């Protein structure tokens, strides 16, 4: 059991909600080009995030251009497609993503453990790379919004979670001692790296999903690793 601090900041996708369902919907929407076996679906997700990281770092002007993503992904896979095909697949990808996001599914351990943490007087926040409105809408649709005091959102803060400035802003807004904050998430880059460096308690949760976002990172060791929220002690 891992004892959490007075303030607990959760990630959403892959931590509280089943992200594998979203990945599968997206990958299947372009399976006619990228393939539909489990290995091919995972490859599609892998190259999507490799493309995403490249866009954030080197091509920020294409950050929201899914057709550009599709072409870049195809190049990484050695697949040749033209602009029209990329545009068509981008439409399918966005529709699949939107539908999956509108039908999110909580992991079975979420409600009872958020309730347990809240009942003991801890303050709970959400940290997200999306907009505050989007995340609050999802929390409300899942009937867990009342557990959360607020959402720290990338579009509001002006930085993504994999950037140190995001977490510096979180600390500034909370006006709390860093030793009183726990961050729980499923991604080393997004949820662990900078909170750890800034002195927060970090807990990596591994849901062992069928499809997942793979990371190739080194020298990032979370304070603890769990498989279920039941492992959090208060």
Exposed/middle/buried for residue 179 (C-beta within 10 Å: 0-12, 13-18, 19+): exposed
Last-in-domain residue among 52, 77, 101: 101
DSSP state of 61: G
Please choose, from the candidates 154, 167, 156, the residue with its C-alpha nearest in 3D space to the C-alpha of residue 128. Answer: 154
Q: How far apart are CA 223 and CA 8, in angstroms?
A: 14
Question: Which residue range forms the structural domain that includes residue 70?
Answer: 20-101
3-state secondary structure of 180: helix
Last-in-domain residue among 101, 135, 164: 101
Tens digits of per-residue pLDDT, 203-228? 999 998 888 887 767 789 999 999 99
How many domains are there within the chain?
2
Tens digits of per-residue pLDDT, 3-19? 999 999 999 999 999 99
Does residue 28 sit in the same domain as residue 12? no
Question: Is residue 87 within 8 Å of residue 206, measured between CB atoms?
Answer: no
Does residue 93 sit in the same domain as residue 131? no
The pair of structure tokens assigned to 87 is 């545009």
Tens digits of per-residue pLDDT, 65-75? 999 999 999 99
Terminal CA-CA length for the chain? 9
Does residue 205 sit in the same domain as residue 122? yes
């Amino acid at each position: 059991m891992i004892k959490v601090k007075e303030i607990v900041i959760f990630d959403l996708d892959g931590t509280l909600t089943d992200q594998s369902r979203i990945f599968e919907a997206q990958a299947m929407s372009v399976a006619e080009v990228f393939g539909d076996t489990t290995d091919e679906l995972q490859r599609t997700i892998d190259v999507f995030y490799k493309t995403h990281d490249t866009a954030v770092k080197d091509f920020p002007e294409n950050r929201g251009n899914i057709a550009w993503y599709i072409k870049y992904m195809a190049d990484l896979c050695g697949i040749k497609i033209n602009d029209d095909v990329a545009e068509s697949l981008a439409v399918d990808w966005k529709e699949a993503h939107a539908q999956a996001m509108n039908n999110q599914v909580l992991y079975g351990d979420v409600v009872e453990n958020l309730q347990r943490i809240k009942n003991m007087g801890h303050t709970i926040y959400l940290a997200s790379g999306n907009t505050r409105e989007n995340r609050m809408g999802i929390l409300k649709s899942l009937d867990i919004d009342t557990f959360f005091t607020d959402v720290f959102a990338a579009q509001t803060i002006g930085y993504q979670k994999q950037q140190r400035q995001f977490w510096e802003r979180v600390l500034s807004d909370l006006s709390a001692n860093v030793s009183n904050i726990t961050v729980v998430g499923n991604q080393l880059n997004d949820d662990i790296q900078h909170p750890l460096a800034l002195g927060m308690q970090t807990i990596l949760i591994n849901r062992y999903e069928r499809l997942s976002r793979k990371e190739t990172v080194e020298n990032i060791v979370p304070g603890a690793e769990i498989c279920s929220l039941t492992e959090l002690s208060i």
